[in-house]
Structure 1
Amino acid sequence: MSEHESHFSVWGFIKGFAKLIIGMLLMLQGLIGLIVLILIVGVMVEVTNGIAGSDEKVSVSIPDDAALVLDPNGVLVELAEDVNPLEVLRQEAYGVSEPTQIEVHDLVRVIRAAKDDKRIKGLVLDLGALGASPSSASKLHYISAEIAKFKESGKKVIAVGDYYSQDQYLLAANADEIYMNDYGNLFIYGYGSYGTYVKSLLEKLKITSHVFRVGTFKSAVEPFLRDDMSPEAKEANIGYLSVLWRDYASSVEKARGLQSGAVEDYANNLGALLETVDGDLGKAALKAGLVDELLSRAEMNDKLKAAFGADKDGKSFKKVSYMRYLASVDKPADGSDPNVVVITAAGTIIDGEAPTGRAAGGDTIAAQLRKAREDDKIKAVVLRVDSPGGSAFASDIIRDEILAIKAAGKPVVASMGSLAASGGYWISAAADEIWASPTTITGSIGIFGYFNTFENTAAEIGVYVDGVGTTDLAPILATGIGPLPASAADIIQQSTENGYDRFLTIVGEGRNLDKTYVDSVGQGRVWIGEKALELKLVDKLGTYDDAIAAAASLAGLEKYDVVDMKEKRTTFEMFMRNLSETMVAKLGGEKQHHAEGAVAKIVRAAEQQAEFFAEFNDPNAAYARCLTCQ
């Protein structure tokens, strides 16, 4: 062996040995990291289990004589989606977080508990980050009524804000004092229903629309068939919108001690009012008696310190956030007494399963109902419905389980939230009693199907479909780029008509009404709660709490526990959620009142549109869904 070869072999051995050592060190580092990760996860799981499983292990301290700050940061919903707290932290750190969902019952629960809590001196409404959809009126009225009851305790309620949206102001109006930023604004514009109509666009693009519907008022597909709203749709929409507006105005006027018509006058004549105050929106709201004082943020803070006392460092007032307070009072019933279970169908009804709060999966809700039927401790069921409807097939799967519960001798009460239309009414109709609020949007008894084909569009660019099939129906395989066969269109229309007839039968049997009468109030028309009572579509007007009491009464229960059949967030998860908001506030200064970026808006809009189309998954392509009332 030459000297060169010997040198090469020794050097190769040294390099190889070095690589082996480095590899072993890297493997050891990875193993240590894995062990540490497992330990951290184990500790977090143990803490979570400890907090969730024992009220004695962890207590949340609430300072005496503190103001409860109701400052929800998100969109008001019936049932929130399950949230991974660590994912929330990650998203917020990068500024791309989705709007938080705020459960209406969480807000009601904390206000109700604080009313008789000697530690709570008053209530501060900081509503600048609260959002609500136009169809959420009943949720806002529910919270508004609870704030009014809180005032009966003699404790002060103060509202603060840079500005107030129409929905936020419905809650703020109940305050003893309303402060607004001296450069703020209050817009009240009423309720409306406006759509985008694309019939002419589709014709120009030579897209063929195939519509299958039953019902004069089933306007869900009008945007594809017309360039304007039909007279029938206008009649139906103004019918329920007028009641929403009337109740909004009267509620605000009563809370503020204003003359009847004052709110409508403000909305209709804001321009003229601005002329008297040099165009200052804040002064216009002050002159109209809608706010009490125009102040800077620093001045508002001084007012709150004077009302509730200063905190330890003297920089702010003595307070506790509603999320922290919720963690201290939100103790579910132990279930030792007979149970009245609440099962919530919130969101679009889709076929199959769906995660909590995302949609009402037919199989998911049916499984919960089946569990309630088979559990001997459960004596009555409240089906809480807050849904525009959706899949007719999934709606029927849910209805079958309701009928099975009734056959087992357990009463079922349907409690309608803000929206229980189309499929939402389908699943409610079989209940022993239906309770709605005066502003619940319901009805919309109708069926539709819709899709497009592009044979004419394709022909414009020289694309054609041709082939052979073994039956007259086989050309349906080419539908899309190819046309829809007339035989297939006839089948779909007949199936749609059958679905509508089935809907009428279900309502007639459930409500003990003649099918002809149901058809006369059906036809896809939307009704407001108080009119639905008059038309015998609901039994009683009342709250969520009233429906629970009615279910217990039907079951002959004087003492009972109310149990939600849903996966509850643990105290640890709520703590993490609160911590994430605190961290972002510390890093960025203020809570997220700022508008999201343009790119984020586009991405979110695209995601929402994709989710919208994914909800149309009925196996028969038949939908009992109210698109115009969402």
Structure 2
Amino acid sequence: MRFFKTFLAALLAFIVFAGLCFVVLLIIIGKAISSEPVTISPNGVLVLQTSQTFNEQKVVNPLASFMKDEASEIPGLFQAVRLIQHAATDDNIKGIYLKVDGNGNGFAGNEELRNAILRFRKSGKFVYAYGEVMTQQAYYLASAADKVYLNPKGGIDFAGFSSQLMFLKGTLEKLEIQPEIFYCGKFKSATEPLRESQMTDANRVQTNEFLGQLYGNYLTGIAQARKLDTATLHGYANENLIREAPDALKYKLVDGLKYDDEVVSELKSQTGVKADEDVNFVSLLKYNSATSLSNGTSDNKIAVIYAQGDIIGGETDKQNVIASENYIRDIRKAREDKKVKAILFRVNSGGGSALASEVIWRELSLAKKVKPVVVSMGDYAASGGYYISCMADSIFAQPNTLTGSIGVFGIMFNMQNFFKNKLGVTFDGVKTAPYADLGTLSRPLNDVEKRFIQSGVDSIYASFKSRVVAGRKLDAAVVDSIAQGRVWSGTDALRLGLVDRIGGLNEALACAARLAKVSEYRMVEYPEVKDKLSRLLKNVSGEVQESMVKKEMGVNYDLYQQVKAIQQMPGDVQARLPFNYRF
């Protein structure tokens, strides 16, 4: 009898607990799918943080509203640019306060934001920037402000750019793992970390070249804003003159050394706020919640398709991955919609699967036959990212976009000695044909198999170049000379004919409208961002897991992603950059 009493009590407790969990879940869902109106009171100062990362598309956090977090939606890059443009004509916004506290975006992304700030200044409204410690890219954004202030005990990193790659050849040798690598293009350096102990001469040449281009653009932008010349700025870095905050003031990189409260006092003066009152600071995320950006009301539509991340085959629910099946569906939908007059394809990708790149290229080529297709390049549009771009009617890139890298490679691993000598594992089996086990990790490839694989890589490389020849209307010999897996800056890509214009999303959108011969239109965006409830039920666990891993690994998260990328390479010919460059 005591057992049954205990069992029933436990069962009742479980039912009550489950019921409470269900009620809490309903509350969470209710708050996630509902939204309270957000308003902006007059005399506001829009706050931008240089550390804020903007993906190409907005990111929705379905739990934020429950947690009273104003960042229930982080706008995409183009959305952020349009919000800054909107603020220029918003009577409730008097100026921008740029909080310089790290760098959250790549080169081309920062270029978009910086240009938006410069356009905002033309409205006559003020832009103030303040930071304690400014990284180089964060300072590049800050230099667009009317006034740049630095903490008296802070500093600016102004030492120049560098690029460092990690090489795993020695590690693989110690583990007795033999990478079997096949590639086309003497500059195709994505496999170097597995086959070399240091940069090859070709890779050193190309990295020096595009790094110099990126640095030149960086210095030019700062020189124009600060009314200095690039040679002077270059000298500051070469002689390491900017070591402490007073150095930055002495050499005119900043307008003053002030503490946060002093900058806030100046903002009060600018906005007419009394000394004992608070400045009406409005974060960009709050401003996004309060602002309805018009995508237009015309029946004519321009489809903006965002393609960000690794290119993979198949289908996925993850954001920031270019899965071929997903993009075929979206491109086809835009192609078959007669109200869609043009497609703007925004590419921010270092590449990935060559086959997936080909099938996306094919779908875009079909779309191009019936309506204009314009490509806008982000931080990267290289290798597979360039493959899916090269057929466009017009291609726009920023000067600091990394593009080109027209080359392919394949990687397989022979782990026979690792299994045998390190783990004591051996393999044996039977097969019905000589090459039935081609690609197994348990034995090395023979010479005939190596020729098979290299032939396949050569064929894909030839196809890649032929797509560029046809899409860019260049001579085959010219394409061969600028291919070879070489990475180019946007500036060089324009000179070589790989892109048509230097410009951002605004310029590319205007071009798409011109080619479609429409003066009025409304934007429709793909992929469609799932509603809050769907994202809550389907994706939140994965997003939380990724966020936790990123938080725990910190600066090592990029290394973790690179190792994951290597794991996904075997068995599929790749058209991708040599990992990611961040400076």
TM-score, with normalisation over the residues of structure 1? 0.81
Using the alignment, how far apart are the partners of 2:280 and 2:270 within structure 1? 9
Output one character per residue of 1:48-85: Cα deviation in whole Å (capped at 9) or x when no partner. 4xxxxxxxxx6432121221111255334333555433
1:448, CA displacement in angstroms? 0.3
Residue 265 of structure 2 is matched in structure 1 by 302
1:44 pairs, out of 15, 18, 31, with: 31
1:143 pairs, out of 94, 113, 122, with: 113
Q: For residues 88-127 of structure 1, what are the structure 2 equivalents within 5 Å?
A: 103-127=76-100
- Paired amino acid for 1:394: A
Residue 181 of structure 1 is matched in structure 2 by 151
2:409 pairs, out of 448, 454, 466, with: 448
Q: Is 1:171 matched with 2:141? A: yes
Bigger drift between 508-517 and 326-335 goes to 326-335
Output one character per residue of 1:400-448: Cα deviation in whole Å (capped at 9) or x when no partner. 21122123x1111111112100111111112222222222211111010
- Paired amino acid for 1:47: S
Question: Percent same amino acid at aligned positions?
Answer: 33
Q: For residues 196-215 of structure 1, what are the structure 2 equivalents within 5 Å?
A: 196-215=166-185
Using the alignment, how far apart are the partners of 1:501 and 1:292 within structure 2? 54
- Paired amino acid for 1:128: D
1:285 pairs, out of 232, 241, 248, with: 248
1:104, CA displacement in angstroms? 2.3
Could you list the runs of 5+ residues in structure 2 that have no partner in the other structure?
A: 535-549
1:33 pairs, out of 1, 14, 20, with: 20
Bigger drift between 107-116 and 458-467 goes to 458-467
8 Å CA contact retained: 2:182, 2:411: yes
- SS of structure 2 residue aligned to 1:181: strand
1:226, CA displacement in angstroms? 2.1
- Answer with 1 or 2: which has the greater Rg: 1
8 Å CA contact retained: 1:309, 1:317: no
Rate the CA distance shift 1:604–1:87 in 2: closer, same or farther, 3 A. farther
8 Å CA contact retained: 1:206, 1:457: yes
8 Å CA contact retained: 2:152, 2:257: yes
Rate the CA distance shift 1:602–1:89 in 2: closer, same or farther, 3 A. farther
Residue 472 of structure 1 is matched in structure 2 by 434
Rate the CA distance shift 1:36–1:460 in 2: closer, same or farther, 3 A. closer
Output one character per residue of 1:174-203: Cα deviation in whole Å (capped at 9) or x when no partner. 212111111111012222322123434444
- Paired amino acid for 2:578: L
Rate the CA distance shift 1:417–1:85 in 2: closer, same or farther, 3 A. same
8 Å CA contact retained: 1:340, 1:379: yes
Residue 321 of structure 2 is matched in structure 1 by 359
Could you list the runs of 5+ residues in structure 1 that have no partner in the other structure?
A: 1-11, 49-57, 275-280, 574-595
1:489 pairs, out of 440, 450, 453, with: 450
1:385, CA displacement in angstroms? 0.6
TM-score, with normalisation over the residues of structure 2? 0.88
- Paired amino acid for 2:517: G
Q: For residues 35-434 of structure 1, what are the structure 2 equivalents within 5 Å?
A: 36-37=23-24, 40=27, 43-44=30-31, 47-48=34-35, 59-71=37-49, 73-79=51-57, 81-86=59-64, 103-132=76-105, 136-270=106-240, 274=243, 281-310=244-273, 314=276, 316-333=278-295, 335-355=297-317, 357-407=319-369, 409-434=370-395
Using the alignment, how far apart are the partners of 2:138 and 2:90 within structure 1? 25
- Paired amino acid for 1:551: A
- Paired amino acid for 1:158: Y
Q: For residues 510-521 of structure 1, what are the structure 2 equivalents within 5 Å?
A: 510-521=471-482
Residue 545 of structure 2 is matched in structure 1 by none
Using the alignment, how far apart are the partners of 2:170 and 2:112 within structure 1? 43
- SS of structure 2 residue aligned to 1:183: strand
Using the alignment, how far apart are the partners of 1:353 and 1:561 within structure 2? 28
- Paired amino acid for 1:515: A
8 Å CA contact retained: 2:373, 2:393: yes
1:32, CA displacement in angstroms? 5.2
Q: Is 1:608 matched with 2:569? A: no
8 Å CA contact retained: 1:348, 1:615: no
Q: Is 1:552 matched with 2:513? A: yes
- SS of structure 1 residue aligned to 2:466: helix
Using the alignment, how far apart are the partners of 2:555 and 2:186 within structure 1? 35
Using the alignment, how far apart are the partners of 1:233 and 1:173 within structure 2? 32
1:624 pairs, out of 568, 575, 578, with: 575
Q: Is 1:563 matched with 2:541? A: no
1:297, CA displacement in angstroms? 2.8
Using the alignment, how far apart are the partners of 2:55 and 2:253 within structure 1? 27
Residue 541 of structure 2 is matched in structure 1 by none
1:16, CA displacement in angstroms? 7.9
- Paired amino acid for 1:307: Q
- SS of structure 1 residue aligned to 2:127: strand
Rate the CA distance shift 1:356–1:545 in 2: closer, same or farther, 3 A. farther
- SS of structure 2 residue aligned to 1:320: strand
1:20, CA displacement in angstroms? 8.5
1:502, CA displacement in angstroms? 0.8
1:494, CA displacement in angstroms? 0.7
Using the alignment, how far apart are the partners of 1:445 and 1:128 within structure 2? 36
8 Å CA contact retained: 2:159, 2:240: no
